[in-house]
């Protein structure tokens, strides 16, 4: 039974639809869903499509009486009510066109509360919200839209998209009855959307699906749009898309890209104008890096309250800032979805709360590093490109490891920033090598070489109580790791060694080397791997975690990180075959590799 107070804020039908959508998103396996959306897609063809696409979200349009009603409705369905919202220009214009209204009279917002799939994978419910107060003349519109569900759709993200893959996917969907139904390119997150009408025989209630491909694929998009039936008469043929940029992307993908909500309509804007606008946004991306770093440095997320909006003046008194200047920063942060603003003041979004120091998976250390010493060294990128020498060394006169060792506070921030990317480790405790070690008779030992504060080792020990661990690190890092692992309840199964790569213990069954090799040139990597090869028993396995450069021009975080390593460490990212050659030179063999989140991979290595 829906409480009366809730029913006045969000209609019972909308609560029911929200709850059903959330349950749908949680329950679906990608291959099964693809076979339901496209009947006849099965066998090898289904496996090929499922290998390239993963179910990302389902969308619907709801009609709250006011923002509190929407938050209550989300909470009633077990969805986060602090995810923040932004205007949805596309849906607003489509609804206005369908009903012959002035788009300026409609207030449509977009939210993406997170849900998790059957295996814990991160997904979302894409909620479009059109405010319809009680007794509003828009009430009849709401009834019509609920009945027809024009904005409901399913979305699949394309992994490692390239033109050949996208053409193949589009051809496969067309072969099984899907029809081109619009799309768009978002320059703010560099992603392309292809919409399709699902075939008449689809076995779901959704009549629209979306393929999302990272990167600029406007040449293929033009082909896709040309295939629409009667596109000149289609009121939903807007080339815009409302894909939001998450903080993890702002920090982990491209600190130089400023997200926003104003998207370009390719059919109405000259290519030169589009190019100039895109380039301008890229050029001003440094402002985003500094805004996020300043937000973290001021501890604005700690001063903000998710329950009680606070004014710029109130926040300025708490963090020690000029009210007018802080107001300017807060408005920019609102554009980034780090905070949300209403008539009563500012509140943090889920993105903003990730900048709190005490947040689970806090990204505050990353913000401080990327907005601090690494930001300063990037001013010397030209020097790095001309000479091949790190801009960091040119600026500070020494290698970043040596520089951080001279400043304990900076060193601690760097170590915490490494732990902030721990979401890439989530699948590693269930890696076959680790589970096999845990299941083997007798005591088994996992040795984490240069393992930082023990984030990865702690996850593995927590998942597998039979295992014991050894962490090899520098003295100040060992002290921090001991505190961390003790606090998580696995410290009694972990020993600690102070030393360098030459001091790798020889008694391990599984060795870990996470995000180490990319810090160094090939000569130093061969030396590090030589120490490991000599220490490893013949039966031991080595798991190496790194980002792999793609073999082609596919967009990848590794490509961005390759530039970062050039400028800041003198290291580099590598392709799988380049790592294989380094392993070979040290008497090791690359057995295989598996993908991890954030474009990382775990490489399985054994002695020859």
What is the tens place of the pLDDT at every residue in 232-274?
Answer: 444 333 333 333 333 333 333 333 333 332 223 333 344 555 5
Residue 9: which pLDDT band, with cuts at 50, 70 and 90?
A: low
Check which CATH number belongs to the domain holding 314 and give it.
Answer: 1.10.10.10
What is the tens place of the pLDDT at every residue in 544-557?
Answer: 999 999 887 777 78
Q: Is 539 a catalytic residue?
A: no
Q: What pLDDT sits at residue 232? A: 44
398 has pLDDT over 60: yes
* Average pLDDT for 110-126: 89
Q: What pLDDT sits at residue 271? A: 52
C-alpha–C-alpha distance, residues 315 and 295, integer Å? 12
Q: Which of 184, 210, 244 is the last residue of a domain?
A: 244
Pick the more confident residue, 243 or 196. 196
C-alpha–C-alpha distance, residues 36 and 34, integer Å? 5
Residue 134: inside a domain: yes
DSSP summary character for residue 310: B
Q: What pLDDT sits at residue 526? A: 96
Residue 259: inside a domain: no
Residue 336: which pLDDT band, with cuts at 50, 70 and 90?
A: confident
412 has pLDDT over 50: yes
Q: What pLDDT sits at residue 40? A: 82
For residues 335 and 458, membership in a common domain is answered with no
Give Cβ neighbours of residue 483 (< 8 Å, ≥ 6 apart).
none
For residues 555 and 572, membership in a common domain is answered with yes
Residues counted in the chain: 608
Q: What pLDDT sits at residue 449? A: 97
Q: Dihedral through CA 431, CA 433, CA 435, CA 436, nearest 10?
A: 150
Alpha helices in 112-238 (DSSP H): 139-148, 163-175, 218-226
* Average pLDDT for 345-353: 90
Read off the tokens for 374: 């690494």
Q: What is the rounded average pLDDT for all residues in the chain?
A: 85
C-alpha–C-alpha distance, residues 570 and 560, integer Å? 14
CA angle 49, 52, 56 (to 5 degrees): 100
For residues 16 and 77, membership in a common domain is answered with yes
**DSSP SS3 for 156:** strand
Q: What pLDDT sits at residue 233? A: 42
Check which CATH number belongs to the domain holding 16 and give it.
Answer: 3.10.180.10
For residues 349 and 470, membership in a common domain is answered with no
For residues 413 and 436, membership in a common domain is answered with no
For residues 99 and 224, membership in a common domain is answered with yes
Residue 539: inside a domain: yes
What is the tens place of the pLDDT at every residue in 472-482?
Answer: 998 888 988 99
384 has pLDDT over 80: yes
Q: What pLDDT sits at residue 138? A: 92
Instruction: Please report where in the chains the tokens 């107060």 appear, as a residue.
Output: 133
Residue 445: inside a domain: yes
What are the angstrom distances between the C-alpha of 13 and each of 62, 99, 400? 9, 21, 58
Pick the more confident residue, 451 or 93. 451
Q: Which of 244, 265, 297 is the last residue of a domain?
A: 244
Asked if residue 374 lies in contact with residue 561, where contact means CB atoms within 8 angstroms, the answer is no
Q: What pLDDT sits at residue 253? A: 34
* Average pLDDT for 390-406: 87
For residues 411 and 446, membership in a common domain is answered with no
What is the tens place of the pLDDT at every residue in 213-225?
Answer: 998 898 899 889 8
Give the number of domains in the chain: 3
Alpha helices in 159-284 (DSSP H): 163-175, 218-226, 247-252, 271-283
Check which CATH number belongs to the domain holding 601 and give it.
Answer: 3.40.50.150
Asked if residue 168 lies in contact with residue 192, where contact means CB atoms within 8 angstroms, the answer is no
* Average pLDDT for 426-440: 89
Q: Are strands 600-607 and 588-595 parallel, antiparallel or unpaired?
A: antiparallel
589 forms bridges with which residues in the sheet? Answer: 606
For residues 350 and 483, membership in a common domain is answered with no
Pick the more confident residue, 410 or 582. 582
Asked if residue 271 lies in contact with residue 222, where contact means CB atoms within 8 angstroms, the answer is no
Phi-psi region of 407 (alpha: psi -120 to 50; beta: other; left: phi over 0): beta
Residue 196: inside a domain: yes
Percent of the chain with pLDDT over 90: 50
Lowest mean pLDDT across 80-94, 255-269, 392-406, 522-536: 255-269
Q: What pLDDT sits at residue 269? A: 43
H-run or E-run covering 392: helix 391-396
For residues 76 and 225, membership in a common domain is answered with yes
Q: Which pTM was predicted?
A: 0.58
Considering the candidates 403, 518, 564, 601, report the single residue annotated as catalytic. 518
CA 465 to chain centre: 30
Q: What pLDDT sits at residue 401? A: 81
CA 318 to chain centre: 31
115 forms bridges with which residues in the sheet? Answer: 123
Q: What pLDDT sits at residue 246? A: 32
DSSP summary character for residue 64: -
Give Cβ neighbours of residue 608 (< 8 Å, ≥ 6 apart).
587, 588, 589
What is the tens place of the pLDDT at every residue in 33-89?
Answer: 999 999 888 777 888 898 889 999 999 999 998 888 888 888 888 887 666 777 877
Q: Which of 383, 399, 418 is the last residue of a domain?
A: 418
Residue 80: inside a domain: yes
Longest distance between any two alpha carbons in the chain, whole Å? 78
Residue 281: inside a domain: no
Pick the more confident residue, 385 or 47. 385
**Nearest partner of 194 among 171, 213, 167, judged by Cα:** 213
C-alpha–C-alpha distance, residues 368 and 296, integer Å? 7
For residues 362 and 431, membership in a common domain is answered with no
Lowest mean pLDDT across 208-212, 370-374, 419-423: 419-423
Q: What pLDDT sits at residue 273? A: 57
H-run or E-run covering 265: none
Q: Which domain holds residue 328?
A: 288-418
226 has pLDDT over 90: no
H-run or E-run covering 199: none
Question: With b meaning 16 or more CB within 10 Å and e meaning fewer, what string describes 321-334?
Answer: beeeebbebbebbb
For residues 584 and 554, membership in a common domain is answered with yes
For residues 64 and 170, membership in a common domain is answered with yes
Residue 262: inside a domain: no
């Amino acid at each position: 039974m829906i409480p009366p107070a809730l029913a006045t804020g969000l209609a019972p039908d909308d609560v029911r639809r929200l709850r059903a959508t959330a349950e749908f998103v949680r329950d679906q396996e990608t291959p099964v869903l693809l076979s339901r959306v496209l009947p006849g897609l099965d066998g090898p063809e289904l496996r090929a499509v499922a290998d390239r696409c993963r179910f990302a979200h389902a969308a619907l349009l709801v009609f709250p009486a006011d923002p509190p009603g929407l938050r209550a409705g989300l909470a009633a369905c077990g969805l986060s009510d602090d995810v923040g919202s932004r205007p949805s220009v596309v849906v607003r214009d489509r609804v206005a066109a369908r009903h012959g209204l002035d788009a300026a009279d409609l207030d449509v917002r977009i939210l993406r509360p997170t849900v998790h799939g059957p295996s814990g994978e991160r997904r979302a419910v894409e909620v479009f919200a059109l405010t319809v107060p009680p007794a509003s003349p828009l009430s009849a519109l709401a009834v019509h839209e609920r009945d027809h569900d024009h904005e409901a759709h399913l979305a699949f993200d394309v992994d490692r998209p390239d033109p050949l893959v996208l053409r193949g996917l589009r051809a496969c969907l067309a072969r099984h009855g899907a029809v081109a139904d619009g799309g768009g390119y978002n320059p703010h997150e560099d992603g392309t959307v292809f919409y399709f009408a699902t075939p008449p025989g689809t076995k779901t209630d959704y009549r629209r699906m979306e393929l999302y491909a990272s990167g600029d694929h406007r040449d293929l998009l033009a082909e896709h749009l040309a295939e629409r039936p009667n596109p000149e008469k289609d009121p939903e043929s807007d080339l815009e898309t409302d894909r939001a940029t998450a903080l993890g992307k702002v920090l982990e993908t491209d600190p130089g890209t400023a997200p926003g909500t104003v998207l370009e309509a390719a059919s109405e804007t000259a290519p030169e104008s589009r190019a100039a606008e895109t380039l301008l946004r890229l050029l001003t991306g440094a402002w985003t890096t500094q805004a996020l770093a300043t937000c973290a440095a001021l501890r604005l997320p700690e001063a903000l309250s998710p329950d009680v909006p606070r004014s710029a003046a109130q926040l300025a008194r708490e963090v020690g800032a000029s009210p007018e200047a802080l107001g300017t920063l807060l408005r920019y942060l609102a554009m980034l979805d780090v905070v949300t603003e209403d008539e009563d003041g500012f509140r943090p979004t889920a993105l903003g709360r990730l900048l709190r120091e005490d947040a689970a998976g806090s990204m505050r250390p990353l913000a401080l590093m990327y907005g601090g010493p690494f930001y300063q060294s990037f001013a010397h990128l030209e020097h790095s490109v001309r000479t091949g020498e790190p801009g960091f060394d040119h600026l500070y006169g020494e290698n970043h490891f040596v520089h951080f060792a001279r400043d304990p506070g900076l060193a601690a921030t760097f170590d915490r920033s490494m732990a902030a990317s721990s979401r890439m480790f989530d699948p590693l405790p269930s890696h076959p090598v680790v589970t096999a070690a845990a299941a083997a008779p007798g005591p088994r030992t996992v040795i984490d070489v240069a393992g930082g504060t023990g984030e990865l080792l702690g996850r593995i020990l927590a998942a597998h109580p039979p295992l014991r661990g050894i962490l090899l690190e520098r003295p100040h890092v060992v002290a921090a790791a001991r505190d961390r692992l003790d606090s998580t309840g696995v410290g009694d199964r972990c020993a600690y060694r102070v030393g360098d790569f030459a001091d790798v213990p020889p008694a391990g069954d599984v060795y870990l080397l996470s995000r180490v090799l990319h810090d160094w040139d090939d000569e130093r990597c061969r030396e590090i791997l030589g120490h490991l090869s000599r220490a490893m028993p013949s039966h031991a396995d080595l798991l190496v975690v790194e980002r792999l450069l793609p073999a082609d021009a596919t967009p990848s975080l590794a490509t961005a990180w390759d530039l970062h390593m050039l400028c800041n460490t003198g290291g580099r990212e590598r392709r799988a075959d380049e790592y294989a050659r380094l392993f070979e030179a040290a008497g090791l063999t690359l057995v295989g590799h598996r993908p991890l989140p954030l474009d990382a991979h775990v490489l399985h290595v054994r002695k020859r």
